Amino acid sequence: MDNDTLIERIATHPFYLELKSSRDPKVLEALKGIDRANFLPEFQKESAYRDTPLRLTHNIEQHQSTCSQPSMVAYLADALELKEGMSVLTVGTGSGYFEALVKTLIGDGHLTTVEFDPVLAHFGESNLRNHFGTLDGIEVICADGSKGYPRNQPYDRITIAASYVSLNYPDIELGTQLNEGGIFIYPCNPNSCLVYGKKEPGKISTRKLGTGIKFVPIKKSG
């Protein structure tokens, strides 16, 4: 299997198709130009074109970081409705695979991506530099992103690639970091879904997306 075959499979994946009746063709077109193998450690490259999450270290731990399932990456990018010139925050850089897709879709926009693990922050940053040949318009930060990253606000979009396992959800914190009309998405493991929030005049409206969705728990300081 190769990258083109992987993209063809995503296009017909029931999970991706359930998102909405009209999907943005630019998402899968952009993914065709992002070879997942280039965002994986050497021991995982032979599995690069499987539509499954892949761990990023040899250590087998219950809650270790992964390179997300490609169909999930496409699903998230489509749900975010990314546009040229946007300012986007992603939390949980990992390998940088999803971030490469985001940056491709926002073009000259600015991507801030936060990773808690310093080793993964360096790994993701290196992968993004190798893919684009530059880090212009990309800022990789090693920090606690469990409540977003206020320093570079406001954002048009925020997405968090790790789940919240308690009722202490970050809706208020993320909402204050968004422009009017901005969108945030994060996973919620107790309900096995994604939380989709939109900042509207005087309020933040939220709804659930998907079912049976699992991410590793969010890492935070303290």
pLDDT band at 133 (very low <50, low <70, confident <90, very high): very high
pLDDT, one tens digit per residue, over 52-79 is 999 998 775 545 789 999 999 999 999 9
Give the per-residue pLDDT at 126.
Answer: 98
Q: Contact, 125 vs 56, CB < 8 A? A: no
Per DSSP, 22 falls in state S
pLDDT, one tens digit per residue, over 4-28 is 999 999 988 877 777 654 578 999 9
Give the per-residue pLDDT at 20.
Answer: 56
* Average pLDDT score, the chain: 90
Q: Where are the domains of the chain?
A: 3-209
Q: Known catalytic residue: 68? A: yes
What CATH number labels 3-209?
A: 3.40.50.150
Q: Which is the catalytic residue, given 21, 47, 65, 68?
A: 68
- Give CB contacts under 8 A, 24+ apart, made by 4-7: 4/32, 5/49, 6/36, 6/49, 6/50, 6/51, 6/70, 7/31, 7/32, 7/70
Burial 67-105 (b: 16+ CB within 10 A, else e): bbbbbbbbbbbbbbebeeebbbbbbbbbbbbbbbbbbbb
Angle between helices 70-80 and 3-11 (to 10 degrees): 60
Angle between helices 25-32 and 3-11 (to 10 degrees): 160
Question: CB-based contacts of 119: which residues, under 8 Å, 6+ apart?
Answer: none
